[in-house]
Amino acid sequence: MTRTIDTEVLVIGSGAGGAVTAARLAEAGRSVLVVEEGPWFDPDAHEPSSLEEFTARWRHQGACAALGSPGIAFAEGRCVGGSTEINMGLYHRLPAHFAAEWRRKYGIADFDDATLDRYATDIEKTVTVSFLPGEAPASSAVLEHGADALGWKSTEFARVFAYDDKGHGTKQSMSRTMIPKAVAAGAIIQPDCTVLKLNRSGRRVTGATARLGYADGSSELVTLRADQVFVCGGAIQTPTLLQRSGFRHNIGPGLKFHPTVKVAARFSHPYDHDEVPVHRVTEFDPFLTIGGSASRRGHVALAVADAAPSDLDRVLEEWQNVVVYYAAIRSSGSGRVRALPGLRAPLVTYGLTDSDLSRLARGLVHLGEVLLAAGAVELFPSIAGGPIVRSREDLGQWWTALTRSRSNLMTVHLTSTVRMGDASDLTGTDSYGRVWDTDNLRVNDASLLPDAPGVNPQAAVMMIAARNADAFLST
C-alpha cells in the first residue's frame, strides 16, 4: 500500500513554467503542491557553469544529445528552479511578430500584444529585469566593438539580474523569485520527487504515481492525489510523462531548437571570465543571433579541442586570453520526443535541414568577422579539425568545413513539443494549455510555444504560464 498525499493543485516541475504557475495559484488561495525531480540547493551553492554545477544541477551532467545528422547536444536543469538555475539569465520578451504569426496559425485565443505586454510587465516586476549598471566587461564589449567596426547592429540584452550598491549582480532565477513567492503564499515544494506516470479516470486525471527520494538514498513510492494537475517539466520531460501516461495526440512532435555553433577567440591580452557577455549582434535577427558564452578554463579547452586538439596545450598556457562566443539560428528543421518503454529517458531526435546548416555556416563566418574586427588574433571554430582562422580572408574556409560530419552543435533552448492553440489538428492543448480530451490536465511550460522564438525563451514561458494560470483561475 503506497502512501497518499492529497492536494488541490499538483504542479509537476519547478522551472520557469512551474514556479510561475505555483506562485500564481497559491497567491489566489489554492492549495498547491510542487514536485520537482531534482534536489533543492541554495542558489549560491555552486559557481555558474562550474564542474560542481554540472554535477549537481544539470540533467545527465550535461551529457545528453538529440540523435540525428548531426547529433545536437542539449542541456536541461534538474533541480528546484529548473533550467533557470543553469542558464545565463538573459531576458527577452516574445517578439510581437511571432505572437501574431502563432495566433493566426495555431488559433491561440487572447494572444494579442496588449495581453502579452500586460503579463510581461507583471512578470518583470517580480524577477527584476535590468541592464548592466556600469561599463560592460571587455569580453562583452568585444561584440559591440566588432559590430560597430563592420557597421552592424548590436545591443546589450537585459537580464534577470539584481544589482547591489557596488554593482555586483545576482541572477534572479526561480529559486530566488517565484519559488519563495509560492512558498510565502502557502505552496509546498517537494524536491527529489520523480513522477512516474499520471493516473487517469476517463477524462480526468486523478493525480500521479511518484517516487520520493530521501537523503539516506532510500526512496518511497507515493500516490499524489489532486483535483487539478499542471505538467511543467519542460519540452523534453513533459511530453515524455504525457506519452507514458497514455496521452499521445500531438504530444512529442515539433520539437524546436536554436542550433548553436561556437568559436573560441584568442586575443593578444587577457580578458575577464567571471561573467557571460551580455552584448548581442542583432544585425541578422531573428534568424541568426551572435553572442557570448561561458568561458571558464574548461569551456575554453572544450572549444579549442574541437578545432585543434594538438594546439590545446599551447592555447591553455594563456587561456585567460581566450573567450568563447556563439552563433545561434532559428531552425527550419524540427525534432521529436518519444518515451521508450522501460527506460527513464526519452529518445530525442532532431532533423537539421540543409538550409539550417547553411545558416549555421553563415553564422560562423559572421561571428568570425565580428571577432576579427574586434581584435581577435586566432579563432577556433566548433568544427572537428578546424580550420583555425587568423585573418578575414581565411574565413571562407568555414563555409565548406561546416559539414554534417564535422560540425559540433549544441543548444540550451528547447520548445514546442506540446503546442497550444485551438487548431486541434496542430496542437496538443487548447489555447490555455489544457490537454485535449481531458478536463483537468494542463501543460504550462516551454512545450507550449508553437515555435522557437529566436531569443531566450524564458520570458515567453513565464508570460504564457502566468496567462494560463489566470485563465484557469477564472474558470
Partner 1 sequence: MLWLERRIVAALAGPDDQRTGGAITEFVDTSFRTMPQHLRAGVVGESILLGAYVRLRRGPNPSPAAIVASMEQWEHHPIGVIRQYARLLSSLVIFPQQEIVDG
Binds partner 1 (CB under 8 A): choice among 14, 83, 408, 427? 408
Q: Which of residues 197-226 bind partner 1 (CB under 8 A)?
A: none
CB of 262 to partner 1, least distance (A): 13
Is-contact 155 283, C-beta < 8 A? no
Q: Which of 341, 375, 334 is nearest to 355 (CA)?
A: 334
Three-state secondary structure call for residue 371: helix
Binding to partner 1 in span 127-146, by CB under 8 A? none
Residues 236/66, Cβ–Cβ less than 8 Å: no
Please, are residues 247 and 231 in contact by the beta-carbon 8 Å criterion? no
Q: Single out the residue of 3, 4, 6, 60 in contact with partner 1 (rule: CB under 8 A).
A: 60
Shortest CB 37 distance to partner 1, Å: 12
Question: Residue 151 or residue 217: which is nearer to partner 1 going by CB?
Answer: 217
Residue 444 to residues 165, 447, 465: CA-CA distances in angstroms? 36, 8, 5
Smallest gap from residue 208 Cβ to partner 1 (A): 22
Active site residue 92: no
Lay out the sheet containing 253-257: strands in order across. Answer: 347-351, 334-338, 253-257, 414-415
Size of the site for partner 1 (CB under 8 A): 34
- Contact string 280-309 vs partner 1 (x = CB under 8 A): ----------------xxxxxxx--xx--x
Q: Identify the three-state secondary structure at position 260.
A: strand
Decide: is 196 part of the binding site for partner 1 (CB under 8 A): no
Within 321-350, the residues that bind partner 1 by CB under 8 A are 340, 343-347
> What does the alpha-carbon distance between residue 225 and residue 228 come to, in Å, rounded to a whole number?
9
Q: Which is nearer to partner 1, 99 or 305 (CB)?
A: 305
Nearer to partner 1, 15 or 386 (CB): 386
Q: Which of 384, 423, 426, 471 binds partner 1 (CB under 8 A)?
A: 384
Instruction: Tell me how far the alpha carbon of residue 337 is from its chain's centroid.
Output: 16
Nearer CB in complex with partner 1: 133/385:
385
The one among 109, 150, 316, 377 contacting partner 1 by CB under 8 A:
316
Residue 306 CB, shortest distance to partner 1, in Å, is 8
CA distance 144 to 152: 9
Name the residue nearer to partner 1 (CB basis): 178 or 315.
315
| Closest distance to partner 1 from the beta carbon of 63 (Å) | 5
Kindly tell me which of 29 and 309 has the beta carbon lying closer to partner 1: 309
Q: Minimum CB separation from partner 1 for residue 343, in Å?
A: 5
* C-beta of 67 vs 221, nearer to partner 1: 67
List the grid coordinates of 267.
586575443
Choose one: 52-60, 153-161, 179-187, 430-438; the region binding partner 1 (CB under 8 A): 52-60
- DSSP H helices, 160-233, are 178-184
Residues 65-84 within binding reach of partner 1 (CB under 8 A): 65, 69-71
Nearer to partner 1, 25 or 360 (CB): 360
What's the maximum distance between 2 C-alpha atoms anywhere in the chain? 71
For the beta carbon of residue 443, count every other beta carbon within 10 angstroms.
Answer: 33
Piece of the chain touching partner 1 by CB under 8 A; list 6-14, 32-40, 49-57, 357-365: 49-57
**Minimum CB separation from partner 1 for residue 298, in Å?**
4
Tell me which of 46, 273, 299, 413 is the catalytic residue: 413
* Backbone phi, psi, residue 51, to 5°: -60, -40
Dig out the grid coordinates for 248 from the structure: 499521445
Q: Which of 133, 167, 385, 396 binds partner 1 (CB under 8 A)?
A: 385
Side-chain-side CA neighbours of 11 within 13 Å: the count stands at: 34
Q: Please, are residues 279 and 155 in contact by the beta-carbon 8 Å criterion?
A: yes
Residue type, 447: S
Work out how close the CB of 246 gets to partner 1 at its nearest, in angstroms, rounded to a whole number.
21
Rounded distance, CA 71 to CA 439, Å?
Answer: 38
Instruction: Determine the Cα–Cα distance for residues 194 and 186; give it in Å rounded to an integer.
Output: 22
**DSSP string of 19-56?**
HHHHHHHHHTT--EEEE-SS----TTSS-TT-HHHHHH
Phi and psi of 421, rounded to 5°? Answer: 140, 160
What is the set of active-site residues? 413
Q: Point out which residues bind partner 1 (CB under 8 A).
A: 50-51, 54-55, 60-61, 63-65, 69-71, 296-302, 305-306, 309, 312, 316, 340, 343-347, 384-385, 405, 408
